[in-house]
Structure 1
Amino acid sequence: MQKYQNTSSQDAETQPARAIYKALSEIQEAYPDEPAESEDWIVPRETLQASLLARAVAVLRIMSRLRLDKQALQSLLESGSLGDDAATMLEAKETEIRDEAFQIVREANRFHPSWGRLIFENANQISSNLNHRDILLNISKQRTDEQAKMRQMGMNVPELKFNIKPVAAPTS
Structure 2
Amino acid sequence: MDWLTLVVPFAYLGVLIGCLATFSSLYRRRKAAKAASLEPWFPPHLQRDIYHSLLHLDQQQQNEKKTRVPETVLKAALLRRAAEDIKRVMAIREQKQALALLLQRGSVGDELWQRFLRAEKEMEDEVRDVVAEANSYAPNWGQVIFQSAREMDANATYRARMEEYQATVAEERAWWDKKRASIQEGFMKELDAEKERPATAASTATNTTSTTSDDDAVLVEAEKEGTSSPAPGKKKKKGKK
Within a 5 Å distance, the mapping from 1:20-31 to structure 2 comes to 20-30=50-60
Contact map agreement 2:83 2:149 (CA 8 A) in 1: yes
Bigger proportion of residues as helix: 2
Structure 1: 5+ residue stretches without partners: 33-38, 140-159, 161-172
The Cα of 1:6 is off from its aligned counterpart by: 6.3
Separation in 1, partners of 2:97, 2:163: 28
What is the aligned-residue RMSD (CA, Å)? 3.3
Within a 5 Å distance, the mapping from 1:9-28 to structure 2 comes to 9=40, 11-14=42-45, 16-28=46-58
Structure 2: 5+ residue stretches without partners: 1-35, 166-175, 177-241
The Cα of 1:12 is off from its aligned counterpart by: 2.4
Separation in 2, partners of 1:8, 1:136: 37
Separation in 2, partners of 1:135, 1:82: 37
The Cα of 1:31 is off from its aligned counterpart by: 6.7
**TM-score w.r.t. structure 1 length?**
0.62
Contact map agreement 1:106 1:116 (CA 8 A) in 2: yes
Change (3 A) 1:79 1:7: closer
Task: Report sequence identity in percent.
Answer: 30
The Cα of 1:48 is off from its aligned counterpart by: 0.4
Amino acid corresponding to residue 77 of structure 2 in structure 1: S
The Cα of 1:93 is off from its aligned counterpart by: 0.6
The Cα of 1:40 is off from its aligned counterpart by: 6.1
Please state whether the residue corresponding to 1:29 is helix, strand or coil.
helix
Equivalences, count? 131
- Corresponding residue for residue 58 of structure 1: 84
Tell which structure's C-alpha radius of gyration is larger: 2
Please state whether the residue corresponding to 1:43 is helix, strand or coil.
coil
**TM-score w.r.t. structure 2 length?**
0.46
Within a 5 Å distance, the mapping from 1:1-172 to structure 2 comes to 9=40, 11-14=42-45, 16-30=46-60, 41-130=67-156
Change (3 A) 1:41 1:109: farther
